[in-house]
Amino acid sequence: MFATVVRTLAPGRARQLGQVENAFVSLIAVATSAFFIMLAFGVYVQSQYALNWFLGAILAVTFLTTTGNPDRPTGRSLFSWSAAIVSIAICVYFTLMQPIYEMRLPMIDTLNAADQIAGVALILLVLEATRRVIGMTLVIVVLAFLVYGVFGHHLTGPFWHRELSLEDMLYQIVFTTNGLFGPALSVAALLVFAFVAFGTVLDAAGGGDFFFDLANSLVGKQAGGPAKVAVVSSGLYGSISGSPTADVVTTGSFTIPLMIRTGLSRVYAGAVEATASTGGALLPPVMGTAAFLMSDFTGIPYSEIVIAATVPALLYYLSVFLAVHLRAKKENLAPTATVTTNILKVLRRDWYYFVPIFILTWYVLTVDRPAFSAALALASLLPILAFRLRNPVVTGKAVVRALDDTTRRMTGIGVACAVAGLVVGTLAMTDLTGKISTALFILAQGSGFLTLIIATVIVIVLGMGMPTPAVYALASVLAAPALLALDVPLLPAHLFIVYFASMSAITPPVAVAAFAASTIANANPLAIAVQCCRLAIVAFIIPYIFIYNTGVLMIGSAANIAFSVVSATAGVVALVCAQEGFIARPIGAAARLALAALGLALLAGEPLLALLLGR
């Protein structure tokens, strides 16, 4: 019964495209990638035209490359072709009508019949695409919000809202920048796209192999080497790709079989890779889609977010690495038998991979133009690709293939951001955001800590059925206002939500990183997800720490920052040792409890310092 429900809610699978279908998809994908990379370089196109193109292309590629559910045939589908063509046609219609829309007076000029038909059809297409690439769970959540928008005026009490006509809802959701074509879709198209393109070209240029070799040369010879290689290589690669699933597939294909061969269980091996890959969405310089959304939603420069996120992300990886190390010592696991080169040889051979990474990091931090930074870094990869392939024709084909793959990889992000816009638009129309924030505050009875707990529950529950961008987009409008009402600063409040949203990749029951790892490890994905949550336990604590101790976000005086970082590091070490029940030898229950208490006290950082100084 449970398996049937899971399969019903699950997304579709990849289609086996024929030559004609594949050529058509590739034409759309390559053209779309080239167009948005040009925009990242600074070519000006009015944003609404760009978003029309982006949404039409993403929907078309989704319908042609993904089945309706896991049990559907993977061959040619008339409905999928029809949906793809209608998606493109609607977005072309919006583009042609854009000059008229710009002259329209809000709340005065009405939508004509064609506009209404196109608007309803586009919403249905976005919901169908969501069902295919994300699953039915998110569709149900979105439908619940839309139903509230339609029938909420029948309610009594604080959740009543004024009656909304179909035209009112369509206008808000489709024909303004507060809904479907709002900030989330804009960030995906005009910002995230460039970083995904950079990651795809880096893959084509052998970047994944470089990160694996680098990690292998650093820690492969240590006890539990394969697991440590997974942590380091996934962190390095994930900090650039920002995609947990892509990270698992790229580095996990090497690390998971190695971990299994050296004695780790299939579940643990998959969990180590999935947990390490998920941390990439939190690790600068790229982080993940949620961080870009945070910058756009809050107006905080991306460079500030990168600086603030550095220490918490490093603490996350310290906790996972130390957990793996202690497990290896406890179980006497062997090092990797395949380490054939040292760090200096790897650096002498592949030093040029640091050039695009340096360009990316430097421009993100100094110029604060993230998309342009990604475009420049991508351009610097082309000589590396040409050098490795040593054939202009082969290099050209590799570039085209990377452009093709970029748009295909963007389907999940693009659809998630589009469907999040449907909910955000409904929230704006009904003022549900303020009502929920007020309800949270009342439920917590004004307690800051209880409000944080409730906000955490909201984000985690949303994360059980949605990808990270959608989780953050919804939680930022549902939970963030309640945190801000408690005088939590803007950056920590939203970074708190980013962290828990990112954990959706390993949160059961819909844990995309765990499912990706399960296919390689040949293990139960839910068991992997549960083990991931245990490995990543510190990630569920750190957000609380930087709410009360902003020193770990590099905010405050130099002395407080230094004390907070050192104290938090020691706290993480104590917590992981308590969790694993091992230091130099196994430790008992009383010692573990004492270490856990010490770890939490040390993580408090600045408040602990104030207590020690009697302030």
Reported as a single tens digit per residue, the pLDDT across 261-303 is 877 889 999 999 999 988 888 888 888 788 888 988 888 998 8
Is the separation of the CB atoms in 507 and 539 below 8 Å?
no
Above pLDDT 90, what percent of the chain?
27
Q: What is the structure's pLDDT at 296? A: 87
Cα separation, 230 vs 246, in Å, equals 14
- Backbone torsion region of residue 72, taken as left when φ is above 0, otherwise alpha when ψ lies between -120 and 50, otherwise beta: beta
Mean pLDDT, residues 422-449: 79
Tens of pLDDT, residue by residue over 510-525, are: 778 888 888 888 888 8
Q: What is the structure's pLDDT at 614? A: 44
Q: Where are the domains of the chain?
A: 2-176, 186-406+428-542, 556-615
Bridge partners of 582, per DSSP, are: 586
Q: What is the structure's pLDDT at 232? A: 86
Is the separation of the CB atoms in 580 and 323 below 8 Å?
yes
Both tokens of 612, joined, read 């020690």
Q: What is the structure's pLDDT at 123? A: 94
Tens of pLDDT, residue by residue over 366-409, are: 877 888 998 999 999 999 999 888 889 999 999 999 999 999 98
pLDDT, averaged across the chain: 85
Tens of pLDDT, residue by residue over 38-94, are: 999 989 999 999 999 999 999 999 999 988 777 677 777 888 899 999 999 999 999
CA 60 → CA 19, 126, 299, 402, 404, distances in Å?
Answer: 17, 11, 32, 19, 14
Cα separation, 197 vs 216, in Å, equals 26
Above pLDDT 70, what percent of the chain?
95
Q: Judging by beta carbons within 10 Å of its beta carbon (0-12, 13-18, 19+), is residue 163 exposed, middle or buried?
A: exposed
Measured over the CA atoms of residue 65, residue 69, residue 73 and residue 78, the dihedral's sign is: negative
User: What sections of 503-588 are H helices per DSSP?
Assistant: 512-521, 525-535, 542-548, 558-580
Cα separation, 57 vs 555, in Å, equals 42
Is the separation of the CB atoms in 243 and 234 below 8 Å?
no
